[in-house]
A and B are shown apart, each in its own frame.
Chain A
């Protein structure tokens, strides 16, 4: 019998990706002040993928044994193909994570999500009081987001909370962590705010200094000990530029599919390496791998390393030439 072993691998060895991030739509029921994509009720891209195109690509993910897909937006539940796609992926053996604001998850919707047996549902909550929460997410309801977590947990869905910090919500972090732990949430994530999209306009409220990040990190570390074994708490220490520098040296091999079918290396790079309307799945994967080695990408990483605020152009979609 041949000896078995488990060892680490490089994504370049894979015949197709094992993990994909898919921004289903740029439409959202909210207009959060930190939103990287400036999503909102009127922010649908004019050329977003149709239901048929979404389902066709979903089938390709199943056929190519992609193992894990994150569905985000905008608000992914607003896309008319969301339920059919999520069902197609789940029944095809793909683990699905849903990233949502939770506003549309009533008890019956939670049950429908549970029936999909998703890997998890991540809900963004940025304050422990309605006043603070809606400063970040105008017109959104904190109680709806908390109810969504409650319902999902009742139906046995693994839930996670993403907290995007702001100068005005830091004082509520401890309370927020205790609140969501009490609801059975399994993971709580936070990190540095990205200087992108709508956040640029609100940087006076969102641009925390190192001392404020240190304060947040200490609270998360302390609470991580308190909730060990029940809820995982994690503060991501790198900012968007540091993260990009690391990913550039060691790409992780998970393409980002935007709502109009363009394929990006990572959210923090404006370059488009493929278009699922034009390229086959195999072509997309080869172009993705080549894209990381393109001189334009190297130039861009150098540029944002020297001028971190240049990262704000990552929101654009610029076709990478000569791939």
Chain B
């Protein structure tokens, strides 16, 4: 499998709150909450980084098995897809 890049929908906005990070798609007016790591993943997607780059960077930043981080990132991406926040 080649390098996989994701693209967020155009109108995704983020807002920091005490309880987490609000993700607002102003086009569909749907609102969700994630945590700081979720925010980091979203921002890295916005920066045009590939999934492997995101996993690599998070592995350097956080303690834990790289395989576990990989699973977490893929799980989060699945959620973004389910919430319809990613471009097809």
Contact = CB atoms under 8 A, between A and B. Distances in A.
Given A1-B62, A119-B11, A119-B26, A6 B17 contact: no
Interface string A87-106: 00000010101000000000
Contact of A95 (B13, B16, B72): B13
Interface secondary structure of A, over-half rule: loop
Contacts, number: 80
Given A18-B22, A68-B26, A119-B27, A4 B37 contact: yes
B32 A8 contact: yes
A217 B33 CA distance: 34
A18 B21 CA distance: 12
A67 interface: yes
Given A67-B15, A93-B13, A4 B24 contact: no
A156 B17 CA distance: 33
A6 B23 contact: yes
Contacts of A2: 35-37
Interface in B38-58: 38, 41, 58
A4 B22 contact: no
A65 B18 CA distance: 14
Contacts of A8: 31-33
A4 B76 contact: yes
Interface in A17-36: 18-19
B63 to A, nearest CB: 8
A9 B22 contact: yes
B77 to A, nearest CB: 10
Contact of A6 (B11, B18, B29, B38): B38
A160 to B, nearest CB: 11
20 contacts: A1-B58, A1-B68, A4-B37, A5-B33, A5-B35, A5-B38, A6-B34, A6-B38, A6-B83, A7-B33, A8-B32, A9-B32, A13-B19, A18-B13, A19-B26, A65-B15, A67-B15, A68-B13, A97-B26, A120-B27
Given A13-B19, A68-B26, 15 more contacts: A1-B37, A1-B58, A4-B41, A4-B75, A6-B38, A9-B22, A9-B32, A9-B33, A14-B15, A14-B17, A18-B22, A18-B31, A67-B13, A68-B13, A97-B26
Interface of B: 11, 13, 15-19, 22-24, 26-27, 29, 31-38, 41, 58, 62-64, 68-69, 72, 75-76, 79-80, 83
User: What are the 3 tightest A-B residue pairs by CB atom distance, in nearest-first order?
Assistant: A4-B38, A6-B32, A67-B13
